[in-house]
Amino acid sequence: NAGVTQTPKFRVLKTGQSMTLLCAQDMNHEYMYWYRQDPGMGLRLIHYSVGEGTTAKGEVPDGYNVSRLKKQNFLLGLESAAPSQTSVYFCASSPTGMYAYDYGYTFGSGTRLTVV
């Protein structure tokens, strides 16, 4: 089925470890996003990309890096994990222009990350 696929679904890290979350979409969307979801805080934008080879900072970028080497993939990296990065991470994608308003974002099912 077409959509956004996130891997892994669950992960436990020790403080200081690194990891990469992978997001893949097969809808040929230009825009991709990484959000984190925390209780009582809703979704906050970490980084986003408006096209292959481009990335930009969102609301809470510190401690994260991203790359978009291919249009269909958007990677989120944690270089040195901290307990404050314990969260559920969602990737999303959207088309450009008015189609984004018509169809909205397509979200992946999330990655639950625990940093101990």
Which residues sit at the interface with another protein, rule CB under 8 A? 4, 31, 33, 35, 40-45, 48, 50, 58, 90, 92, 94, 100-101, 103-105, 107-110
Query: Considering only CA atoms, which of 88, 110, 93 is closest in space to residue 30?
Result: 93
Measured from the CB of residue 59, what is the shortest distance to another protein in angstroms? Answer: 9
**What separation in angstroms does the CA of 33 have from each of 13, 40, 110?**
23, 21, 12
Label the pairing between strands 19-25 and 106-107.
unpaired
Nearer to another protein, 18 or 109 (CB): 109
Nearer to another protein, 15 or 96 (CB): 96
Nearer to another protein, 22 or 100 (CB): 100
Query: Considering only CA atoms, which of 106, 97, 92 is closest in space to residue 36?
Result: 92
Measured from the CB of residue 4, what is the shortest distance to another protein in angstroms? Answer: 7
